[in-house]
């Protein structure tokens, strides 16, 4: 079978390896669609994602759907032919965080397609991969495999909103209008936000945000004044830009909340903490997701959330390099996906 492996910075190879075999409780999955995410691009274009450095060939990919090709002894949750969303989160289930219901903070997390551990935990950009049945979510109905691959990023956005205060009647800012930014717009509206503004430094992502329900867009690079006055109850910093985080702190009202969702650069950053004190802000982090993955699968399969406008292209695994370049060009794409040929 074909697999896509990053050996080092800008060294991605399509390689043929033997089909994997499965054991008890395991499921062999044929890739349906796999979304290329910011962290996959960091691995490809930089050879690292923040502090996680590639030390052996890494199969990226943690946002995927698939079709069950084979099941091991004892598997009851799915059967051959099922269309599934795949959760890339493999928590230990035994540590204090897991037992406390916060599996995404697990001390022994094995997150797919990540170089955080060595040997690396391989991801899903390959024709077939093996999954524990607990990570497979069967879905009925006519939802496409491309849409179903949004379960992971939608879960990120739902978790961000779930980490913040209730949104009914509130005014919200989202900085960054890429996939997670657009999904955060959707999640904030599901949460009842009265008004959702989005900022970005490119027009195309802002147009996408309007298509999925934003009320107002701000070109942060051209209209700095737009974010200088306090006007929002809650801000979600999704872009991973320090300037955007400062904008969030300035643009939320006294007593407001800022959620950091995007990954900021690894270097320490100077920060005016007095603004947080004097405005009595809540500054919180939102990392991955927990039960929100289950919700995301339901929102997608009922089309209560329609992500179809966000799919910019689907490419066979063999064209992964081309797809990674398109995914990086935010003036041309939102979500680019890889599919098994």
Beta strands in the chain (DSSP E): 2-8, 11-16, 26-35, 48-49, 52-53, 64-71, 83-86, 89-90, 110-111, 128-132, 136-139, 171-175, 195-200, 216-219, 232-237, 252-260, 282-285, 311-316, 335-339
The angle subtended at Cα 132 by Cα 4 and Cα 187, nearest 5°, is 80
Find the part of the chain contacting Zn ion (CB under 5 A) among 32-40, 46-54, 223-231, 265-273. 32-40
Residues 83-112 that bind Zn ion (CB under 5 A): 91-92, 95, 98, 106
Tell me the two tokens of residue 132.
């524990």
In whole angstroms, the minimum distance from the beta carbon of 332 to Zn ion comes to: 19
202 binds Zn ion (CB under 5 A): no
37 binds Zn ion (CB under 5 A): yes
Residues 128-167 that bind Zn ion (CB under 5 A): none
Question: What is the Cα–Cα distance from 285 to 283, expressed in whole angstroms?
Answer: 7
Q: Among 245, 236, 155, which residue's Cα sits nearest to residue 198?
A: 236
Q: Which is nearer to Zn ion, 95 or 276 (CB)?
A: 95
- Write down the residue that tokens 């040929």 correspond to: 341
In whole angstroms, the minimum distance from the beta carbon of 91 to Zn ion comes to: 5
Would you say 190 and 305 are in contact if contact means Cβ atoms under 8 Å apart?
Answer: yes
Would you say 116 and 42 are in contact if contact means Cβ atoms under 8 Å apart?
Answer: no
Q: Which is nearer to Zn ion, 160 or 252 (CB)?
A: 160
Q: Which is nearer to Zn ion, 89 or 217 (CB)?
A: 89
In whole angstroms, the minimum distance from the beta carbon of 180 to Zn ion comes to: 8
Would you say 241 and 175 are in contact if contact means Cβ atoms under 8 Å apart?
Answer: yes
How many positions of this chain bind Zn ion (CB under 5 A)? Answer: 6
Find the part of the chain contacting Zn ion (CB under 5 A) among 31-39, 287-295, 296-304, 321-329. 31-39
Q: Which residues contact 270 (CB under 8 A, 6 or more apart)?
A: none
Q: Which is nearer to Zn ion, 176 or 256 (CB)?
A: 176
In whole angstroms, the minimum distance from the beta carbon of 134 to Zn ion comes to: 13
In whole angstroms, the minimum distance from the beta carbon of 93 to Zn ion comes to: 6
In whole angstroms, the minimum distance from the beta carbon of 41 to Zn ion comes to: 10
286 binds Zn ion (CB under 5 A): no
Q: Which is nearer to Zn ion, 100 or 280 (CB)?
A: 100
Q: Which is nearer to Zn ion, 246 or 335 (CB)?
A: 335
Q: Which is nearer to Zn ion, 106 or 167 (CB)?
A: 106
Helices (H) and strands (E) in the chain, counts: 10, 19
Neighbours of 46 (CB within 10 A): 13
Neighbours of 119 (CB within 10 A): 9
Q: Which is nearer to Zn ion, 22 or 91 (CB)?
A: 91
Q: Which residues bind Zn ion (CB under 5 A)?
A: 37, 91-92, 95, 98, 106
């Amino acid at each position: 079978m074909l697999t896509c492996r990053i050996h080092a910075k800008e060294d991605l190879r399509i390689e043929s390896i033997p089909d994997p075999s499965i054991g008890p409780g395991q499921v062999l999955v044929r890739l349906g669609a796999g979304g290329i995410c910011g962290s996959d691009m960091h691995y490809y274009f930089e050879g690292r994602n923040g502090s996680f450095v590639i030390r052996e060939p890494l199969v990226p990919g943690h946002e995927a759907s698939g079709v069950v090709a084979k099941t091991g002894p004892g598997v009851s949750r799915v059967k051959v032919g099922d269309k599934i969303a795949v959760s890339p989160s493999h928590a230990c289930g035994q540590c204090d965080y897991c037992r406390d219901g916060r599996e995404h903070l697990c001390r022994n997390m094995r997150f797919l397609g990540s170089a955080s551990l060595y040997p690396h935990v391989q991801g899903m950009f390959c024709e077939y991969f093996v999954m524990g049945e607990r990570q497979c979510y069967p879905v009925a109905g006519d939802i496409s495999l491309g849409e179903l691959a949004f379960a992971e990023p939608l879960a990120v956005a739902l978790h961000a909103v779930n980490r913040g205060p209730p949104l009914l009647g509130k005014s919200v800012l989202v900085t960054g209008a890429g996939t997670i930014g657009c999904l955060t717009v959707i999640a904030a509206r599901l949460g009842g936000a009265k008004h959702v503004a989005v900022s970005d430094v490119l027009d195309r992502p802002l147009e996408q945000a309007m298509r999925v329900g934003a009320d107002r867009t701000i070109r942060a690079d051209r209209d700095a004044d737009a974010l200088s006055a306090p006007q929002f109850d809650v801000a979600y910093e999704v872009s991973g830009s320090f300037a955007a985080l400062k904008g969030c702190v300035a643009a939320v009202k006294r007593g407001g909340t800022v959620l950091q969702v995007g990954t900021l650069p690894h270097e320490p950053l100077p920060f005016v903490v007095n603004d947080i004190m004097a405005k009595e802000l809540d500054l919180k982090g939102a990392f991955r997701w927990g039960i929100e993955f289950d919700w995301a699968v339901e929102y997608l399969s009922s089309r209560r959330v329609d992500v179809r406008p966000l799919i910019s292209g689907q490419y066979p695994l063999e064209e992964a390099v081309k797809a990674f370049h398109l995914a990086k060009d935010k003036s041309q794409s939102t979500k680019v996906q890889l599919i098994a040929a």
